[in-house]
Amino acid sequence: MLQKGEYIKIVAPSGSGKTSLTQFLYGLRREYNGAIFYDDHNLAGLSAEQIARYRKDHISIVFQDLRLFNDQTVQENIEMKRQLHPFHPPEKIKHMAEALGIGSKLHQACGKCSYGEQQRVAIIRALMQPFDFLLLDEPFSHLDDNNSKKAMQLILEESRTRNAAIIFADLERVDHFPFTRLFHL
């Protein structure tokens, strides 16, 4: 059982199922044995509207493949998530973007940003909504140490604000993630 406030680290080599696990937890896929419950609700039994509410209000994710709207600007990508269930005011986008060094890219189309910049966009996007659980699937794969630390700091700050749990899946241990539980797949 995973509880709010926990920091869970999942370390596993490539192809072992980290991404599959995060997608199961996000309710994106259902081809697993057993059951996943959020509170007392079986994820597999939720309707489309209930799943939408679950993703809007309770769980957030940074996809491994980012899944941004390449034709929309950085600001638009982040705003699209923020406006769904505003946890922060619009000005927070600029504040976070500057904190992660992409403040000047706000009006640039995402598709024209570097992969590292896009990763930071995906991270900020995930932090714009309320959540009880934050799923991170190799979120710093294209960031250098300095930017990884800054991003981690932002993530931890936002999680503490919400008393949320973080489930961090990565290829190897990241030192600056203060996990409370560690799993190897």
Partner 1 sequence: MLQAGTNTTSRWFSYIGLGIGVLLLLCAIQVYIDLRQLLHENVARKNGVDFISIAKTVTNETMGQTEKNLFHQADIDEIKSKPFVDDVAPLLANQFRVTLGAGAIIPFSTDMFLETLENDFIDTLPPSFQWQEGQADIPIIFSSDFLEIYNVFAPGQGLPQVSESTASGIPIFITCEGNGIEETFRGHVVAFSDRINSVLVPKAFLDWANKKYGKNNAVAAARLFIKTKDANNADLLNFLDSKSYKVNKDKTKFGRVKQVLQGIFTGMGVFGLLVICLALMLFSFYLQLMLARSKDNLQLLLMLGYSPAWLSKNVLKQYVPVYIIVVISALVATQALQAFFYAYAAGARPGMQWSLHWTVWLAAVLLMSLSLLTNYSMVKKLLYKML
Residue 81 lies near partner 1 (rule: CB under 8 A): yes
From candidates 44, 52, 171, 182, binder to partner 1 by CB under 8 A: 52
Is there a contact between 138 and 169 (Cβ–Cβ < 8 Å)?
yes
Residue 129 lies near partner 1 (rule: CB under 8 A): yes
Q: Where are the alpha helices (DSSP H) in 27-176?
A: 48-57, 74-82, 91-99, 115-126, 145-162
Q: Which is nearer to partner 1, 67 or 184 (CB)?
A: 67
From candidates 67, 112, 181, 184, binder to partner 1 by CB under 8 A: 67
Residue 49 lies near partner 1 (rule: CB under 8 A): yes
Number of residues that bind partner 1 (CB under 8 A): 19
From candidates 4, 41, 53, 112, binder to partner 1 by CB under 8 A: 53
Give the separation between CA 74 and CA 112, rounded to whole angstroms.
10
Q: Which is nearer to partner 1, 55 or 88 (CB)?
A: 55
- The distance from CA 72 to its chain's CA centroid, rounded to whole angstroms, is 19
149-154 contact pairs (CB < 8 A, 24+): 149/176, 150/99, 150/100, 150/101, 151/100, 151/120, 151/123, 152/176, 152/177, 154/96, 154/99, 154/100, 154/123, 154/124, 154/127
Q: Which is nearer to partner 1, 80 or 156 (CB)?
A: 80
Residue 20 lies near partner 1 (rule: CB under 8 A): no
Kindly list the residues in this chain that would bind partner 1 in the complex (CB under 8 A). Answer: 28, 48-49, 51-57, 67, 69, 71-72, 80-81, 84-85, 129
